[in-house]
């Protein structure tokens, strides 16, 4: 198209960019319009598409033939073939096979008895004879169901069509046959409904060669009857006889051209009729659309170009056999790995929505590990029974007058011994998070699979070695505490104060009812309202748990006193329970919430569940014991011990308070020292190993297993990615160069003026009947000449319509019809 050379260069680049972006997983930078072909059955829609392609490839027949939308992508290419989306990789060079595949794919989805389906068939046709367009062939509108079609077939087809034509980037080809009443055209009706301004609608009149003798569609094509803002284009498709006779489409296009040039009613507008002109109109619409999106496209391309420029700079002179480049890449990878791992542990200003490795380790230290320690709380009755046994066993046959120190030490050491298990578990949780961080960060070495595997192996092997040392240190720490019971510790209450209440009780009183945590929890169905669950805003304090409708904390639903309450986990899936569920209950079987004995809650994730459990521990709500007490054990113990005398009861109470006081000291020590052991022996030591010893370990490996070439061997995926990045870089650069000088070289056709409402509504269909011998062309008002600019889109041209029963005017009294560059020609006043 003359004047649009720059745009013709840009369209293939846009297609190349779309392919490059799609291969790399990015969104397409520009959205090309779809051209939807709408019309009734047998209106000639499919023939119009075949004329665009220049090939006979669509199913033919009577009645409803197109039963699924066909999304047809035309791509200008040197070779000619077709590809289906559902048959990726298979090239169809025989267009008869394309027709058969369309029929087979239609039958697979709709059956063989005229059923329809809204699922589109995607076909891409590569040909040197096509323009880069996307067209959609839609089923023809029908009124009466046939075969196994449903009763609401008309509504189904209409809904299917509306899915495509309502898109703002959809250009509507309203196809109507010339031998039917245009006022009853379903295509024009739908087009006016979705495009009332007429900016996206072009009328296409088919079957001009099949009109009754003595009639024509001149007034329609001249945009006088039911005018459209973008006017009408007439086309002549092949007849059924031509199709059965295998008439070539290119020969049919020549016949179409001869038809318009030889017909007395259409010869004066032959340059604005036919398939070739319709293609130019559509291509101009594509040009206008891309031109309108150039500013946004330029901005996106510049951003992508700058992002690619730095990375592609390393690829320009890349050589896979260059040892210096491989050595440099190895050093860069290891330095970046150390930097990323340190940042993941020490913290950074990353905007990620996922917790870093260091943040997860911190939660282990301050939420999960304290929770494991609290889970070791023994039952009060069990502890007193143990103390009673210890006192009586020490006294033997004698009646003790004083509280025995050995009973205190024996019970205390057994309690300290139990701290080994949560300490080991704390180290296991830290090792798991460190290993996950290493595996995640090593993905940046995916370019070199062997290097990534060896780095992971060396670092994880070092971590496992440090794990053994950390566990030994944790066990040694407990053994240190077992070696000597320091009753002179400044925080130990001593025997003089052993009769007072436990330190934990007095501490809780000093805390008062301060707020510990706020957040959303789900009040679930089990134990609450069967079959219902709802989210509430919960406020946990040292003594109470309240929940509200929302964060404003104005509409309080309930206030629960936590004194004496316990916490237990709930099995997910049982009676519709969700995952991460837990319950608050009273060990004395009393109701917790109104008439309910449990308050069932659910957290949004496992991490939230652990965090809420740790918060409940601070409020004094401890988990229930994992092993339930044997109901007969208490009776057996009572029978063995017998009734306690007052002196023994005083001794048990004294030792019980001493054990509680000393264990609180030991737990503080363990809770403080375990994070230090983990950080020193695992986390910090691993960071030091990566920074100082990892590189030497890799070099030692290259000396024994194939050298640097084997270690730095690049993956096939990386080679492909590098080629794609370079290809997209050059495509972006070339596209930006074309865009830079395209604005002034591209012809842009402004939108035609809207059609007045009175002309749109004032229409009565009267098929024009004309004599066989029409007056010669000079006797009609002359048609204003058009500039020979084939890039112009079709504009309405409406000379003054003839007035019936006009008296014969004298030659001197007929004024000339004035011409206007735009709008409709004015009708001159007539002499009376």
Per-residue pLDDT reduced to its tens digit, 518-557? 888 888 754 444 556 788 889 998 888 998 988 888 888 8
**What are the φ/ψ torsions at residue 748 (nearest 5 degrees)?**
-115, 120
* Average pLDDT score over residue span 658-678: 90
Please tell me whether residue 125 adopts helix, strand or coil conformation. Answer: strand
Share of the chain above pLDDT 70, in %: 72
pLDDT interval class at 162 (50, 70, 90): confident
Q: Compute how many other C-beta atoms are within 10 angstroms of the C-beta atom of residue 666.
A: 19
pLDDT at 375 over 80: no
Quick one: which of 119, 109, 102 has its CA closest to 65? Answer: 102
- State the chain's mean pLDDT as an integer: 75
Separation of alpha carbons 662 and 384, rounded Å: 16
Which range, of 154-163, 338-347, 464-473, 619-628, averages the lowest pLDDT? Answer: 619-628
Q: Residue 12: its pLDDT value, please?
A: 60
Strands (E), 57-197: 70-76, 81-84, 121-127, 133-137, 170-177
Q: Residue 642: its pLDDT value, please?
A: 45
Query: Could you read off the pLDDT of 384-396 as tens digits, one per residue?
Result: 777 777 777 776 6
pLDDT at 814 over 60: no
The label of the residue with tokens 């629960």 reads: 560
The answer to whether the CB of 537 falls within 8 A of the CB of 518 is yes
Separation of alpha carbons 155 and 143, rounded Å: 9
pLDDT at 348 over 70: yes
Separation of alpha carbons 448 and 628, rounded Å: 55
Query: Could you read off the pLDDT of 425-436 as tens digits, one per residue?
Result: 999 999 999 999
Q: Residue 434: its pLDDT value, please?
A: 94
* Average pLDDT score over residue span 359-379: 83
Ranked by mean pLDDT, the top range of 142-146, 432-436, 491-495, 739-743 is: 432-436
Q: How far apart are the first and last CA of the chain?
A: 50
Q: Residue 458: its pLDDT value, please?
A: 92
Q: Residue 361: its pLDDT value, please?
A: 92
pLDDT at 47 over 60: yes
What is the largest distance, in Å, between two alpha-carbon atoms of the chain? 152
Q: Residue 317: its pLDDT value, please?
A: 57
Which range, of 191-200, 363-372, 411-420, 523-532, averages the lowest pLDDT? Answer: 523-532
pTM, full prediction? 0.51
Separation of alpha carbons 198 and 188, rounded Å: 10
Measured between alpha carbons, how far is residue 451 from residues 83, 323, 330, 579 in Å? Answer: 40, 15, 8, 40
Q: Residue 470: its pLDDT value, please?
A: 95
Q: Residue 26: its pLDDT value, please?
A: 54
Separation of alpha carbons 237 and 44, rounded Å: 7
Kindly report the CA angle at 408 between 406 and 413, in degrees rounded to 5?
A: 95
* Average pLDDT score over residue span 760-786: 45
State the DSSP H helix or E strand holding residue 548, giving kind and residue range, or none if neither.
strand 544-548
State the DSSP H helix or E strand holding residue 547, giving kind and residue range, or none if neither.
strand 544-548
Comparing 817 with 255, the larger pLDDT belongs to: 255
Which range, of 22-36, 333-347, 457-471, 669-683, averages the lowest pLDDT? Answer: 22-36
User: From the centroid of its chain, how far is CA 727?
Assistant: 26
pLDDT interval class at 576 (50, 70, 90): low
Q: Residue 685: its pLDDT value, please?
A: 94
> What is the bridge-based pairing of β-strands 170-177 and 201-206?
parallel
The answer to whether the CB of 535 falls within 8 A of the CB of 547 is no
Which range, of 28-42, 474-488, 518-532, averages the lowest pLDDT? Answer: 518-532
Which ranges in 693-776 belong to alpha helices (H)? 694-702, 707-711, 716-740, 757-761
* Average pLDDT score over residue span 175-197: 85
Comparing 397 with 559, the larger pLDDT belongs to: 559
pLDDT at 463 over 90: yes
* Average pLDDT score over residue span 686-696: 91
Comparing 232 with 639, the larger pLDDT belongs to: 232
Q: Residue 820: its pLDDT value, please?
A: 44
- DSSP tally for the chain: helices H, then strands E: 26, 16
Comparing 678 with 307, the larger pLDDT belongs to: 678
Which range, of 136-140, 311-315, 741-745, averages the lowest pLDDT? Answer: 741-745
Q: Residue 400: its pLDDT value, please?
A: 61
Comparing 601 with 709, the larger pLDDT belongs to: 601
pLDDT at 209 over 50: yes
Instruction: Provide the β-strand partners of residue 599.
Output: 584
Ranked by mean pLDDT, the top range of 88-97, 203-212, 223-232, 429-438 is: 429-438
* Average pLDDT score over residue span 789-807: 45
Side by side, the strands of the sheet bearing 544-548 are 556-561, 544-548, 534-541, 515-523, 598-602, 581-585, 566-569, 622-623
pLDDT at 15 over 70: no
Name the DSSP class of 712. T
Separation of alpha carbons 147 and 65, rounded Å: 13
State the DSSP H helix or E strand holding residue 327, giving kind and residue range, or none if neither.
helix 323-346
The label of the residue with tokens 């004309």 reads: 770
pLDDT interval class at 478 (50, 70, 90): very high
Q: Residue 320: its pLDDT value, please?
A: 61
CA dihedral for 92, 97, 98, 101, sign (positive or negative): negative
Q: Residue 469: its pLDDT value, please?
A: 95
Q: Residue 657: its pLDDT value, please?
A: 81
Comparing 676 with 135, the larger pLDDT belongs to: 676
pLDDT interval class at 183 (50, 70, 90): confident
Q: Residue 427: its pLDDT value, please?
A: 94
- Read off the tokens for 341: 């791992």
Q: Classify residue 628 by burial, with Cβ atoms within 10 Å: 0-12, 13-18, 19+.
A: exposed
Share of the chain above pLDDT 90, in %: 11
Ranked by mean pLDDT, the top range of 124-133, 221-230, 338-347 is: 338-347
Q: Residue 786: its pLDDT value, please?
A: 44
């Amino acid at each position: 198209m003359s004047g649009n050379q720059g745009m013709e260069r840009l369209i293939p680049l846009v297609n190349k960019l779309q392919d490059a972006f799609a291969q790399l997983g990015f969104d397409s930078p520009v959205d090309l319009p779809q051209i939807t072909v709408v019309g009734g059955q047998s209106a000639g829609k499919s023939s119009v598409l075949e004329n665009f392609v220049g090939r006979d490839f669509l199913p033919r027949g009577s009645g409803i033939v197109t039963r699924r939308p066909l999304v047809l992508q035309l791509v200008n290419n040197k070779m000619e073939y077709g590809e289906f989306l559902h048959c990726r990789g298979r090239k169809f060079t025989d267009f008869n096979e394309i027709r058969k595949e369309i029929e087979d794919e239609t039958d697979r989805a709709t059956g063989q008895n005229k059923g329809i389906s809204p699922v589109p068939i995607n076909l891409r046709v590569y040909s040197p004879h096509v323009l880069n367009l996307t067209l959609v062939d839609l089923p023809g509108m029908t009124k009466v169901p046939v075969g196994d079609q449903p009763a609401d077939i008309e509504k189904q087809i209409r809904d299917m069509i509306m899915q495509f034509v309502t898109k703002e980037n959809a250009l509507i080809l309203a196809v109507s046959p010339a031998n039917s009443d245009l006022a009853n055209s379903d295509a024009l009706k739908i087009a006016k409904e979705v495009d009332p301004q007429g900016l996206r609608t072009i009328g296409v009149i088919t079957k001009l060669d099949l009109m009754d003798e003595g009639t024509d569609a001149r007034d329609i094509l001249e945009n006088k009857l039911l005018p459209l803002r973008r006017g009408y284009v007439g086309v002549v498709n092949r007849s059924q006889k031509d199709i059965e006779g295998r008439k070539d489409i290119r020969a049919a296009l020549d016949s179409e051209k001869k038809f318009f040039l030889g017909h007395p009613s259409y010869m004066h507008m032959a340059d604005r009729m036919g398939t070739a002109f319709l293609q130019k109109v559509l291509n101009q619409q594509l040009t206008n659309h891309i031109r309108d999106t150039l500013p946004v496209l330029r901005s996106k391309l510049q951003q992508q170009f700058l992002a690619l420029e730095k990375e592609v700079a390393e690829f320009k002179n890349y050589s896979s056999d260059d040892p210096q480049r491989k050595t440099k890449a190895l050093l860069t990878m290891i330095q970046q790995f150390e930097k990323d791992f340190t940042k993941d542990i020490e913290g950074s200003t990353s905007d990620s929505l996922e917790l870093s490795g260091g943040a997860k380790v911190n939660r282990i230290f301050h939420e999960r590990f304290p929770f494991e320690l609290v889970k070791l709380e023994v039952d009060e009755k069990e502890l007193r029974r143990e103390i009673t046994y210890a006192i009586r066993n020490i006294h033997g046959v004698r009646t003790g007058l004083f509280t025995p120190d050995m009973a205190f030490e024996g019970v205390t050491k057994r309690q300290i011994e139990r701290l080994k298990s949560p300490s080991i578990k704390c180290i296991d949780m830290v090792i798991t998070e460190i290993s996950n961080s290493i595996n995640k960060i090593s993905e940046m070495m995916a370019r070199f699979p062997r290097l990534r595997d060896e780095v992971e192996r060396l670092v994880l092997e070092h971590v496992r070695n440090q794990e053994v040392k950390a566990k030994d240190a944790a066990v040694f720490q407990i053994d240190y505490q077992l070696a000597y019971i320091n009753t002179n510790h400044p925080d130990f209450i001593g025997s003089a104060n052993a009769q007072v209440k436990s330190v934990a009780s007095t501490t809780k009183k000093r805390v008062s009812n301060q707020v510990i945590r706020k957040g959303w929890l789900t009040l679930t169905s089990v134990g609450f309202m069967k079959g219902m669950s709802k989210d509430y805003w919960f406020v946990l304090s040292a003594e109470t748990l309240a929940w509200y409708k929302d964060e404003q904390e104005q509409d309080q639903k309930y206030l629960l006193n936590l004194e004496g309450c316990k916490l237990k986990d709930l099995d997910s899936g049982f009676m519709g329970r969700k995952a991460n569920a837990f319950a608050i209950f009273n060990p004395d079987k009393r109701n917790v919430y109104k008439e309910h004995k449990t308050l069932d809650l659910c957290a949004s994730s496992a991490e939230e569940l652990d965090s809420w459990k740790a918060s409940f521990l601070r409020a004094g709500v401890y988990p229930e014991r994992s092993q339930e007490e044997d109901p007969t054990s208490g009776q057996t113990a009572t029978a063995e011990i017998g009734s306690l005398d007052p002196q023994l009861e005083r001794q048990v109470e004294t030792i019980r308070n001493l054990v509680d006081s000393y264990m609180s000291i030991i737990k503080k020590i363990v809770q403080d020292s375990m994070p230090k052991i983990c950080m020193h022996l695992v986390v910090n030591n691993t960071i030091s190993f990566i920074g100082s010893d990892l590189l030497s370990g890799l070099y030692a490996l290259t000396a024994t297993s194939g050298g640097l070439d084997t270690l730095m061997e690049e993956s096939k995926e990386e080679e492909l990615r590098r080629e794609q990045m370079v290809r997209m870089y050059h495509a972006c650069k070339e596209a930006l160069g074309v865009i830079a000088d395209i604005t002034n070289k591209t012809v842009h056709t402004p939108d035609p003026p809207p059609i007045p409402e009175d002309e749109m509504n004032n229409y009565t269909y009267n098929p024009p009947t004309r004599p066989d011998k029409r007056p010669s062309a000079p006797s009609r008002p002359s048609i204003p000449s058009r500039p020979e600019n084939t890039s112009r889109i079709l504009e309405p041209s409406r000379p003054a319509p003839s007035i019936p029963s006009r008296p014969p005017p004298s030659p001197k009294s007929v004024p000339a019809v004035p011409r206007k560059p735009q709008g409709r020609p004015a009708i001159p006043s007539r002499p009376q």
